[in-house]
Amino acid sequence: MQRIVVLNPKGGSGKTTIAINLASYLASQGARPVLMDFDPQGSTVRWVRKRKPSQARIQVIAAFEKDTRTTRAFQLRVPEDTSHIIVDTPAAIEPGELPEMTRNADKIIVPVLPSDIDIHACSKCIRDLLLVAKIRREDNRIGVIANRIRRNTLTYQSLIRFLHTLGIPIVATIRDSQNYVRAAELGVGVHEMKSYVARADVEQWAPLVRWLAGPVPDAGSPPAQSSGGTGGTGETTVVAQSVNPAPDAACVVPPAVAKA
């Protein structure tokens, strides 16, 4: 069973969009994903409840609800045949809560939007994951998704430059697409939409899927780009690119993070 935590303390970064579409992909491949919704807004729970019985099975746990009649462990239990647990975290998580939220996480996905405010929030999030939650870079457990991207903009270029300073792989770039809005309204993921409608969006998930399942990337290799991941706005899919970490990468915070 793989535990995947989607995390960014800043609201509006796209955590729920990433979580539900990842669950949709896994379910469409025959896996048995469980979405664990810690966000009091309950968006993930509402999305699952919109799904039809004929669609691939996705179970959801409303982890934000507190039931005094049962233990917390009983409330968060998952079926025995669960293949993946995808945790949709709330906004405004305090640094001290990160160790518990990321406990036993096989992968931690940090979505970030192309704006100065979001870049600053992302730098603080990465810093806290490294220094407070004690996640080591060399374990390849943290990956960043550049979300809602319009490639030919200055903010996109600024975001990519910043991400390259972190020593954390960019595991996907997701274009700014209305397909995600429509999919959320219908209780589906982009992988479940008609191929001629969402092909460009689906292709951009391939690097993320490989990162979740694949080996640790070579930090010294040049950034790889997929020619197939280009949508109508010209976004390019970035395949798990990173920079060389410092010799003691688990203890050293990159300059961009240290200044956050």
Give the percent of the chain with pLDDT over 90: 65
DSSP readout, 114-165? SSHHHHHHHHHHHHHHHHTS---GGGT-EEEEEEEE-SSSHHHHHHHHHHHT
Give the percent of the chain with pLDDT over 70: 82
Least confident of 52-66, 77-91, 104-118, 149-163: 149-163
Domain ranges of the chain: 2-258
Q: Does domain 2-258 have CATH number 3.40.50.300?
A: yes
Q: Is the pLDDT confidence value at 224 over 90?
A: no
What average pLDDT does the segment 34-63 reach? 95
**What pLDDT digit, counting tens, does each position of 69-112 carry?**
888 888 889 999 999 999 999 998 999 999 999 999 999 999 99
Which pLDDT belongs to residue 250?
Answer: 34
**What pLDDT digit, counting tens, does each position of 110-130 carry?**
999 998 899 999 999 999 999
Model pTM score? 0.81
Which pLDDT belongs to residue 161?
Answer: 87
Distances from the Cα of 113 to the Cα of 49, 99, 100, 141, angstroms: 28, 24, 25, 20
What average pLDDT does the segment 207-230 reach? 57
Query: Average per-residue pLDDT in the chain?
Result: 83
> What are the residues whose beta carbons fall under 8 Å from the beta carbon of 99, sequence distance 6 or more?
132, 133, 134
